[in-house]
Amino acid sequence: MAKECVTVVEIGSSKISAVVAQRGVNGIVGIKARARVEYAGFFEGEFIEKALLEDEIKNLFNQLSSVYKKPIEKIYVGVPAEFSKVTSAKEQLVFKFKRNVKDSDIQNLSDYACEKLDVEGMEVLSVNPIYFAIDDNRKTTNPVGIKASKLSAEFSIVLAQRSFIQTFNRIWSKVGVSQVEYLSEPLCEAMLILDKEERERTCIVIDVGARSTSVAFVKGDGLTNLTSFSMGGSYVTSDLSEACGISYNDARNLKKEIVLSLQGGQNDFYELATLGGRVVKIPLSYANEVVCYRLEIIAKTVNECIRLFAKEYVPYYPIYLCGAGVSRIRGGKDFFAKCLGRNISYGVPPIPAYDKPQYTSMLGLVDAVLG
């Protein structure tokens, strides 16, 4: 039996997207309506044209309501990595006598972890266990029902900038939304693409978007570290536009033709039909070099993030690549892996018709909400 529909909003670095979805027969996610607006985005945790956000959100909801006719009273909003922070806390309970661990014990540990937390300008989005341990320090992912006299845990706490939440709360009230719940976009993404067995050891999820890239370390049911920087696939487009002397929109079309695995000679070209009606020949090797130059910079920065946050030797950590910034460039993943000096796999939603890296962020949010 199909369940109730939910509305989810993703605040991307170049566009804001919304979907109305529900969990249908056999647990399959069904998209009932979708909308998106392009906007100036954000840079280093600040919106570039903040004053225009309200009009862009109104446009988004007008698009959505033209397809989905029912009133939308509650929405779920993803908070991007650039407006987020991850910290951790260890807590312990000692029981008067040996007994079975209860759900309420875990809730108490989680509450204690939050009570001590005070980060200026940030609000708690989620508290998730990285691991639990019982009497003999034996680690487990689920201690409920296990007999013990002591229970300890390490929690991952994801925080969001209070200014981000306040900004959007004002906007939602003006578009008539009465209830809002904020979710960690990187956490939801990781929980969607990684199964429980994979999360027993540390995994790294890299999301290269249009103007922002995030690097998340994932273990258990939480993030152990999270960082981001303002660079992504749109920088490749800008480089092509400048280097080839073509418009940004023509550079977008050229990027679709790029195949990084091709080794071009002097007489090999990409033929581009410009929006002005001309056909321009771009030397294949030159265009590929331009793309590779930017991807190398992004990969180098990702490697610096990994080295900065890894607590132990990392070459054995599995790496998953999400987002459209690299994945939509043919040969992009293989070149990116070469730059990182690591094997990488695509992180894709386990959902038919949406099993592509560019859908992972939105569907991670949808899956988290639908449960």
User: Which residues, given as ranges, of the chain have pLDDT below 50?
Assistant: 1
Those residues with Cβ within 8 angstroms of residue 248's Cβ, 6 or more apart along the chain or in another chain: 237, 238, 241
In this structure, are residues 250 and 274 in contact, taking their beta carbons and an 8 Å threshold? yes
User: What are the phi and psi torsion angles at 80 (to 5°)?
Assistant: -70, 165
> Using the 8-state DSSP alphabet, how is residue 247 labeled?
-
The DSSP code sequence of 317-352 is: S-EEEESHHHHTSBTHHHHHHHHHTS-EEE---SST
For residue 311, what pLDDT is reported? Answer: 61
For residue 264, what pLDDT is reported? Answer: 81
Q: Please give the helix or strand (H or E) that residue 272 lies within, else none.
A: strand 269-273
pLDDT digits (tens, 9 = 90+) for 140-173: 889 999 999 999 999 999 999 999 999 999 999 9
pLDDT digits (tens, 9 = 90+) for 179-207: 999 999 999 999 999 999 999 889 999 99
Residue type, 312: E
For residue 1, what pLDDT is reported? Answer: 44
Q: Please give the helix or strand (H or E) that residue 284 lies within, else none.
A: helix 284-309
For residue 312, what pLDDT is reported? Answer: 62
- Give the closest residue to 336 by CA, choosing from 225, 284, 244, 260: 260
Tokens (6 digits) for 361: 């962020």
> Using the 8-state DSSP alphabet, how is residue 180 labeled?
E
Helices and strands in the chain, H and E counts: 10, 18
